[in-house]
Amino acid sequence: MNILSLILILCASLFFTGIVIRTKSILSGRKGPGIFQPLKDIWRLFRKGAVYSQTSSYIFQIAPSIYFASVLIAIFLIPVGNHPGIISFRGDFIFFAYVLALGKFFMIISAMDTGSSFSGMGASREALYSLLAEPAFFILMGSFALLTGYSSFYEIFSALHFGSSISYAVGFLAAIVLVIIALIENSRMPIDDPKTHLELTMIHEVMILDNSGFDLGLILYATNLKFAMYGALIANFFLTPGYEWYYSIPIFIGVQFVFAITVGIIESFMARFRMNHNPQYIFMLTSISILIFLGVLLILGKIA
Partner 1 sequence: MNVISAIIIITIFSTLLLTMVNEGWKGNVALITVLVNGVISSSLAVPALQGVFFDQVLYGGNVIGQIPIRVDALSGWFILVMNFTVVTGVLYGRQYMKHYENQSANLTLHFASYMINHVAMIGIYCIQNSFAFLCVWELMAISAFLLIIFEHHKIETLKAGINYLIQSHICIMFLTFGFIWVNSFTGSFDFNAITAYTSSVSPAVSFTLFLCFFIAFAIKAGFVPFHTWLPYAHPVAPAHVSGMMSGVIIKLGIYGILRVLLLIKGDFMTMGYFILVISVITGVYGVMLAIIQHNLKKLLAYHSIENIGIIGIGIGLGCVGLGLNNPFLAFAGFAGAMLHTLNHSLFKSLLFYVAGTVYQATHTLDIEKLGGLIKKMPQTSTLFLVGALAICGLPPFNGFISEFLIYSGLFKGISTGSFFSTSFLVPSVFGLAIIGGMAMLCFTKAFGIVFLGKERHLLPTLIREAEFQKLFPKYLIGAMIIIIGLLPQVFVKLVTMPVSLFLNEYNLSDQPIEFSRILQWVSMAAVLFILLCLVMLLIKKVVTKSAEIDVAPTWACGYALPSPRQQFTANSFVRPFRKLILPLLMMNKKEGEIKGVFPGVMHSETHPYDKLEATLIDLPLMHLRGFIGRFKFLQNGNPQFYILYGVVFIFFIIALPLFVNAIVYVIELIKEIGK
* Residue list 112-141, contact with partner 1 (CB under 8 A): 112-121, 123-125, 127-128, 130-132, 134-135, 137-139, 141
Question: 256-275 burial string, b = 16+ CB within 10 Å, else e?
Answer: beebbbbbbebbeeeebbee
8-16, 21-29, 230-238, 271-279 -> range binding partner 1 (CB under 8 A): 271-279
Site membership for partner 1, residue 94 (CB under 8 A): yes
Which positions from 65 through 84 interact with partner 1, judged by CB under 8 A? 65-66, 68-70, 72-73, 76-77
- The correct pick among 10, 33, 41, 46 for binding partner 1 (CB under 8 A) is 46
Of the residues 11, 176, 179, 209, which one makes contact with partner 1 according to CB under 8 A: 209
At 197, give phi and psi (nearest 5°): -115, 10
Measured from the CB atom, the residue of 23 and 186 that comes closer to partner 1 is 186
Task: Tell whether residue 251 is a contact of partner 1 (CB under 8 A).
Answer: no
Give the Cα separation of 119 and 68 in Å (integer).
Answer: 19
Q: What is the nearest approach in angstroms of partner 1 to the Cβ of residue 152? A: 9
Pick the closer one to partner 1 by CB: 28 or 276: 276
Which residue, 57 or 164, is less far from partner 1 as judged by CB? 57
Q: Which of 244, 47, 61, 238 is nearest to 160 (CA)?
A: 238
Contact yes or no for 221/42 (Cβ under 8 A): yes
Cα Rg of the chain (Å, integer): 19
Within residues 47-66, the interface with partner 1 by CB under 8 A covers 47-59, 62, 65-66
In the complex, minimum distance from the CB of residue 31 to partner 1, in angstroms, rounded to a whole number? 31
Measured between alpha carbons, how far is 159 from 162 in angstroms, rounded to an integer? 10
| Total chain residues near partner 1 (CB under 8 A) | 88
The answer to whether residue 199 forms part of the interface with partner 1 (CB under 8 A) is: yes
Among 162, 214, 245, 273, binds partner 1 (CB under 8 A): 214
Q: How far is the CB of 219 from partner 1 (least distance, A)?
A: 12
Stretch that binds partner 1, among 16-24, 96-104, 179-187, 242-250 (CB under 8 A): 96-104
Q: Which of 137, 257, 272 is nearest to 198 (CA)?
A: 272
Using the 8-state DSSP alphabet, how is residue 274 labeled? Answer: P
Q: Is 89 in the site for partner 1 (CB under 8 A)?
A: yes
CB contact set of 18 (below 8 Å; sequence gap of 6+) = 34, 35, 36, 37, 38, 39
Examine residue 101 and tell whether it contacts partner 1 (CB under 8 A). Answer: yes
Q: Does 99 bind partner 1 (CB under 8 A)?
A: yes
Helix axes 117-148, 92-113, angle to 10 degrees: 180
Q: Which of 10, 14, 26, 87 binds partner 1 (CB under 8 A)?
A: 87
- Rounded distance, CA 84 to CA 157, Å? 10
Determine the residue type at 272: R
**Using rule CB under 8 A, residue 284 touches partner 1:** no
* Closest among 221, 252, 212 to 8, alpha carbons compared: 252
Phi/psi class of residue 62: alpha, beta or left (left: φ > 0; alpha: ψ in -120 to 50)? alpha
Asked whether position 273 contacts partner 1 by CB under 8 A, the answer is: no
Kindly tell me which of 2 and 65 has the beta carbon lying closer to partner 1.
Answer: 65
- Angstrom distance (rounded) from CA 132 to CA 124: 13
Q: Does 10 bind partner 1 (CB under 8 A)?
A: no
Q: Kindly report the length of the chain.
A: 304
